[in-house]
Structure 1
Amino acid sequence: MGVFTYTDLVEVDLGKLSTATAHWKTVVDELAKLKNDVRDTLVKKSDGARWHGINATVTKEFVHSAAKEFGDLHREALDAAVSRALKKSHGGDPYNAGHSSYTSLDQDQVPRAMKLASLGEDANDKQRAELRRLWQSLSPEARARIWAQHKGDLLAAGLLAPQMKRVAADRGAGSYDIDSPGARDHWIQIQATGMSNAGDFIGNTDAAYHMDHYLRGLGTDLDLDVDRMLTDDAALRQTAEHAIADEREKWRKQALDEFQKSGGPPVALPVETSPQSYTHTDRNWYLAVGSGMTNTTGTVTVVPGDDGKPRVSLDYQVNVWDRYKWDPGKNTPIGPTEVTDADMARLHSTGLAREFDMRGSGSVQHHDLSSDGSLPGPVGPGRDGTRTDIGRNGDAR
């Protein structure tokens, strides 16, 4: 057996232990009830009965012996303390490793978190996931120490990736390649290819690229350029701004409370808004994504200011995700061509095209929560996003 690490410990599935705890407690309670019933009924009746002959001694001794056995069984073999200990190991005790917010292993976790953070963008998916788990379980003071030393590496390693599962609002057209295509399906495929080319020509470059990815049938995830989306689309920008505005006072208060508890050292808290749906108003992004899901993740830090007052700040990123799909019941005119969404969805069902997931995160922005200033504007995208853009998902043609 290899070395047992903290990560191994926190990844242990304690679901069965929780079930065992519940069953154990039921057994203990039933034995306690049975012990009391024996004592209050059987023993009392035995002592009050008028026994004659050998029953006067043998039966009474047997009843008392049986009652003692029940008491010993409850007290020793199934002691309620065992049930309490199992409950604590499952998470009822904040100082026990089974608890989700356990933070008393900073001394062991910090070196591991430092090592993972130092990998930066070279961290693989497993290492990034471990880093995010460690980050959540560290104390606010430990997070602040690591943040101060490795902020750039932490961000490069994807520390601000959403903790919640990124799932599209609906599943799309269903199973892939389950029907045989007919002549009309092939005709729709040709029309869709024409729409993709026309989209490039009229400036809907992302719509054209996403359509092209769909028609190529790759089914692979596509990266979204969220900086350009925020720059181009007011609906997404306003949704993100409102989400932060709704949470900023709560985040600020929580961070200041932790700073006060720390007695002066800096603190850092991970924050995340709930996912919200939105619909693009920019034509290019409406055709490329339509309605998507978004949330904001970040880290709130509090450090002592030069004037003696704590300074509270937020480093955050906007996240977007959706599934590229066509919803039956709608028509989508693109240039001179119009096809129904049901026609386009059928291309997925017949294997002539394939749906795919889209996701992305914007650049990390810094905002001072100690003031009432507005959020910074979107970061300039720095590239045009056309098919000839070599940085666009590695699929430039």
Structure 2
Amino acid sequence: MGRTDLSRPLGRDGGRADERPPDAGARFAELPVRPYDLLLKAGCRLTAVLWSVLGMRRAAGVLRHYLRATGTPYRVDAAELLALPAVRYAAEEQLARWRAEAQGRWRRGPRTPAAYPADSGWRGVLLARRGSLDWWFALRGVEFRLTGTVRVAADGATNVDYRFAVCKNGNFARGARKERGESEYGIPFAVFARLHETGLAREFTVTGEAFGHV
């Protein structure tokens, strides 16, 4: 049987313990509804229909969930997200780091089969328009966290079992979105935050998970 390393997880440096909180803004239904707000909501409904017709079902689904104003979590296909080039690159960077750190610990030990827990912590990644316009309109960016185990064989070969989790709080909130690249195409997504602030829509948490072995 191999040994299990119970020290600090691999790859933990640089990641956050918790996902990023929503950007600051007015609370739900805190502001009065104006005629403009009703027009904005009607325009958003038409936008969701247009996106659906154009085949952008993910973007349409996220916007419709926002307009329902339930505030319930919205689950996305994390495996599809993981297949996007920007997300895949960020994840593979962490997996490569896990392997390197695992082999470093293994070489300092008795060099017998060993297993090392790993945890990237929460990290942000911006979605590229070129990767998928559908996903970009839907989320524009997400937080992800990889957790898993790196196993090192007696000959130093490695394999990894991992869980890939995604999360996003406040998809349309006001704040520093522009600084994080979420106002591309000249679309000020924070404008839609007023629908939450007037109670005509409601922010929610996006979640999802996928599992893999490499």
Structure 2 length as normaliser, TM-score? Answer: 0.78
8 Å Cα contact 2:22/2:170 also seen in 1: no
1:195 matched to 2:47? The reply is yes
Per-residue deviation, 1:172? 5.1
Residue 215 of structure 1 is matched in structure 2 by 67
Q: Deviation string for 1:257-282 (max 9, x for gaps)?
A: 45x28xx5x43221012432221112
Residue 226 of structure 1 is matched in structure 2 by 78
Q: Which amino acid aligns with 1:175?
A: R
Equivalence map 1:9-48=2 (5 Å): none
1:360 matched to 2:212? The reply is no
Q: Which amino acid aligns with 1:298?
A: G
Per-residue deviation, 1:168? 2.4
1:198 and 1:164 map into 2 onto residues whose CA distance is: 37
8 Å Cα contact 1:255/1:300 also seen in 2: no
Q: Deviation string for 1:276-319 (max 9, x for gaps)?
A: 22211121111111122223221012344xxxx35432112332
Q: Which amino acid aligns with 1:227?
A: A
Matched residue SS, 1:175? coil
Per-residue deviation, 1:195? 0.6
Which of 74, 90, 97 is residue 246 of structure 1 equivalent to?
97
Residue 185 of structure 1 is matched in structure 2 by 37
Residue 326 of structure 1 is matched in structure 2 by 172
Residue 176 of structure 1 is matched in structure 2 by 28
Gaps (5+ residues) in structure 1? 1-138, 143-162, 368-397
1:317 matched to 2:166? The reply is no
State how many pairs are aligned: 195
Matched residue SS, 1:227? helix
1:247 and 1:273 map into 2 onto residues whose CA distance is: 9
Q: CA 1:166–1:212 in structure 2 vs 1: closer, same or farther (change >3 Å)?
A: farther
Kindly, what percent of the aligned residue pairs are identical? Answer: 23
8 Å Cα contact 1:348/1:355 also seen in 2: yes
1:170 and 1:255 map into 2 onto residues whose CA distance is: 40
Structure 1 length as normaliser, TM-score? Answer: 0.44
Per-residue deviation, 1:169? 5.6
Equivalence map 1:1-397=2 (5 Å): 140=4, 165-168=17-20, 170-171=22-23, 173-231=25-83, 233-257=84-108, 260=110, 264=112, 266-281=113-128, 282-304=132-154, 309=155, 311-328=157-174, 340-365=188-213, 367=214
> Structure 1 or 2: larger helix share?
1
8 Å Cα contact 2:91/2:146 also seen in 1: yes
Q: Which amino acid aligns with 2:95?
A: I
1:331 and 1:277 map into 2 onto residues whose CA distance is: 16
User: Bigger relative contact order, structure 1 or 2, given CA contacts below 8 A and separation 6+?
Assistant: 2
Residue 9 of structure 2 is matched in structure 1 by none
Q: Deviation string for 1:207-230 (max 9, x for gaps)?
A: 110000000011111222111112
